[in-house]
Amino acid sequence: MLKELRVANLALVEDLALSFGPGLTMITGETGAGKSLIAGALGLLAGGRADKGQIREGEETAVVEAVFDLLDRPAARAAFADAGLRVGADGLLIMRRELKREGRGRVLINGLLSSLSIFERLGPLLLSIQSQDHQRLLTRPGFARDFLDRMLDLGAERERVAAALDHFRTLEKELADRLAEQSFAQEQLEMWEYQHQEISAARLSLQEEEELAERLAFGRNARSLLEGLEVGRQDLLAGEPNARQLLARTLAALEPLAGSSPRLEEILTMVRDAEALVTEAGGELRRFGDSVDVDPARLDELEERQQLYTQLQRKYGRGVSELLALEEKLATRIGRQKQSTSDIDTLRREVERARQELAAAAWELRRKRSRGASRVAARAQDKIRPLALPDLGLEFRVLPQLDDKGEALVERRRCRIRNHGADTVSLYARTNTGESWNPVGDVASGGEKSRIFLGLSVLETGHQAQPLQLFDEIDAGLGMDNAVPVARLLAELAAGGQVLCITHLPTVAAHGRDHLKVTKQVTGGRTSVLVRRLDGEDRIEELARLLGGESGTGGDRAAQRAYARQLLREA
């Protein structure tokens, strides 16, 4: 409930302080007196657009400050607490907005700096302002749907749809991401498998690499040694001719001449010794060669093996340890990719389950909407028909949001599903019996829309607690007689809360619990707006003015005052 409102240096308001009570407060005044300034000031606290031109001429700062009592509004207190703004034990909340001619303005809640976005988000929990063109809300997309859902208490069902939709979209996005990854990875998989097969088939190891180097070094030396030994053995014993043969031929030539000279005997002895040494050396060469263990074929195998190591290291630009790490990495990639295919199949099944859960939640919401729509329409008709609309008919039409690319099948038809469900809800009306049904915006005049909206507001207030509601010229276009039911409905609306009504009709103004009059006053060459609470004769005088105009206009002032008293008695 709004308890206090202070406005300073806003437009024609110099300094204004007002207090408010529960129930219905009427605001009247002459045309151009500034009645709508109160609506404008409250609108700033709801996050309304501000303009430096709103600051009173000659001033640097304009201020709007309001005190709200939220002691009986636990939901509103909880919403502010969720935003980090705790309401005190007394339930009072002070909202303040400052407009500055130079620099940025400020917004404060309970003395603490806040943000305009907080005002925009939480302001509607405190007040609702309906101006002369508020009937456009009737045709705003989502109005009929949201109204119907509130009247049917479908908040929990909508939350289930929203949660199911969020879960479905999360899984759907995850699936899309995984499929994109899989598509890219699939292009790499063949290369990974080839590389892994090539490296793993080589059966590389750091130990083998070292052993190959050692064994090849020895093997290559052994081969050279054997080749040398074989050359020696051939020259000494096995070749044609060889040293032993030559020595034997020498002995055969010299031995017949042995007795001819002692010197020749010495030479023959030397040749015989040489033959024996050659024979012995050749045997040693053979025996030493036999002792050297080297297999040329095995040596060729070792060289081929080392060549494989060299080729792989050159091809991949990595050492053996890095090749082994790459082999493991490739195996992991290949395994993950193959597992990914299995995971994607699982994820597909999860997406389909989530789709079915979403469809079920949307269907349940649709079922309850469809079942309750006629009941809410009938109750609305009963409220609105007394407002000079005796033949009014209303229908809430619940239709599926059909979309070939929608999220799910609801009742075997593919629908687009949003947080509010898979339906469009439209308010249809006919203002006269026998006429065809059409969207309310097409068949109702501005005044009729105002009364329809008022009736819906009263109906909802009786169903759910509402914030402060301010109606600016809700009775525009109505005559005094037709306005009486409107006034009674406003009083009914205010009985469960707090309503401010700016009006020009005395039959409406008479129904207020409180009555404020707005006037303009010129002092020192400056115009200011004043607001005064009316009681007793002052209120009768204001109602008389509304009935017939100012004194001196030719009206019967006494009769007007008498009628004013009658209106107050009958209200």
Mind spelling out the 3-state secondary structure of 137-148? HHHCCCHHHHHH
Q: Which of 314, 339, 364 is the last residue of a domain?
A: 339
Claim to verify: residue 35 and residue 87 sit in the same structural domain = yes
Domain boundary among 339, 371, 404: 339
pLDDT at 94: 92
**For a pLDDT cut of 90, what percent of the chain falls above it?**
30
CA pair distance 391, 4, nearest whole angstrom: 42
Instruction: Tell me what the pLDDT averaged over the chain comes to.
Output: 85
The confidence band for 395, taking pLDDT boundaries of 50, 70 and 90, is very high
Contact 98, 105 (CB under 8 A): yes
Instruction: State the DSSP code for 238.
Output: I
Looking up tokens 């629908």 gives 415
Same domain (yes/no): 315, 217: yes
- What pLDDT score was predicted for residue 156? 94
**Looking at the domain assignment, is residue 174 inside a domain?**
no
Residue 377 has pLDDT above 70, yes or no: yes
Cis peptide before 241 (omega within 30 of 0): yes
Please give the backbone phi and psi of residue 97, each rounded to the nearest 5 degrees, phi first.
-130, 130
Position 50 scores a pLDDT of 85
Spell out the residues 6+ positions from residue 423 whose beta carbon is closer than 8 angstroms to its own: 145, 362, 365, 366, 369, 398, 399, 400, 401
Question: Is 238 in the same domain as 123?
Answer: no
The winner for highest mean pLDDT among 164-178, 358-372, 496-510, 555-569 is 358-372
Share of the chain above pLDDT 70, in %: 93
| Cβ atoms within 10 Å of 228's Cβ, excluding its own | 12
The parent domain of residue 544 ranges over 535-570
Q: In this structure, are 124 and 13 located in the same domain?
A: yes
Nearest to 45 by CA among 68, 13, 29, 11: 68
CB-CB contact of 508 with 475 (8 Å): yes
- The residue among 67 and 493 whose pLDDT is bigger is 67
Within-domain flag for 400: no
Is the pLDDT at 553 greater than 60? The verdict is no
How far is residue 434's CA from residue 437's CA, in Å, rounded to a whole number? 9
Assigned domain for 189 exists: no
Is the domain of 263 the same as that of 315? Answer: yes
How far is the C-alpha of 386 from the C-alpha of 336, rounded, in Å? 72
pLDDT in tens, 161-206: 999 999 999 999 988 888 877 766 666 777 888 888 988 888 888 8
Asked if residue 477 and residue 542 are part of one domain, the reply reads: no
Claim to verify: residue 552 and residue 496 sit in the same structural domain: no
Q: Pick from 20, 22, 35: which is nearest to 131 by CA?
A: 35
Residue 183, phi then psi, degrees to nearest 5: -60, -45
Q: Give the CA angle between residues 447, 450, 452 to the nearest 5°.
A: 110
Give the burial class of 145: count Cβ atoms within 10 A of its Cβ; 0-12 exposed, 13-18 middle, 19 or more buried: buried
Average pLDDT over residues 466-484: 77
What distance in Å separates the CA atoms of residue 447 and residue 138, rounded to the nearest whole number? 12
Residue 205 sits at the vertex; the CA angle it makes with 199 and 206, to the nearest 5 degrees, is 130
Whether the predicted model's global pTM rises above the 0.85 cut: no
pLDDT, residue 132, reads 58
What secondary structure letter does DSSP report for 153? Answer: T
pLDDT in tens, 218-247: 677 766 766 777 777 777 777 788 887 788
Sequence-ordered list of residues with C-beta below 8 angstroms from that of 62, at least 6 positions apart, any chain: 8, 9, 10, 54, 55, 56, 98, 99
**Same domain? 474 vs 547:** no
Which domain-ending residue is among 316, 339, 362?
A: 339
Phi first, then psi: give them for residue 521, nearest 5 degrees: -140, 135
Its sign, for the CA torsion 149, 152, 155, 158, is: negative
What's the CA gap between 76 and 146, in Å, rounded?
A: 19
CB of 254 closer than 8 Å to CB of 341: no
- Per-residue model confidence (pLDDT) at position 552: 39
Using the predicted structure, report yes or no on whether residue 267 has a pLDDT greater than 60: yes
506 and 562 belong to one structural domain = no
Residues 395-416 have a mean pLDDT of: 88
Residue 549 has pLDDT above 60, yes or no: no
How is residue 100 written in tokens?
């500055």
Q: Quick one: 239 and 262 in the same domain?
A: yes
Report CA torsion sign: 7, 12, 18, 20.
Answer: negative
Q: Is the Cβ–Cβ distance between 532 and 26 less than 8 Å?
A: no
Determine, yes or no, domain membership for 175: no
163 part of a folded domain:
no
Q: What's the CA gap between 291 and 361, in Å, rounded?
A: 90
Which pLDDT does position 290 carry in this prediction? Answer: 66
pLDDT of residue 388: 82
Q: Give the model's pLDDT for residue 500.
A: 92
Instruction: Give 107-157 pLDDT, tens digit per residue.
Output: 999 988 888 888 888 888 888 877 655 567 788 889 999 999 999 999 999
- Considering the domain boundaries, does residue 484 fall inside one? yes
Residues 64 and 26 in one domain: yes
Residues 491 and 547 in one domain: no
What's the total number of domains in the chain?
Answer: 3
Looking at the predicted structure, is the pLDDT value of residue 432 above 70? yes
Taking only the tens place, the pLDDT of each residue in 41-62 is 988 988 888 888 888 988 899 9
Q: How far apart are CA 250 and CA 243, in angstroms?
A: 11
Q: Is 16 helix (H, G, I), strand (E, B) or coil?
A: strand
Does residue 429 lie within any of the structural domains? no
CB 163 within 8 A of CB 360: no
CATH number (domain holding residue 38): 3.40.50.300
Helix (H, G, I), strand (E, B) or coil at 530: strand
In a domain? residue 100: yes
pLDDT at residue 358, as a whole number: 94
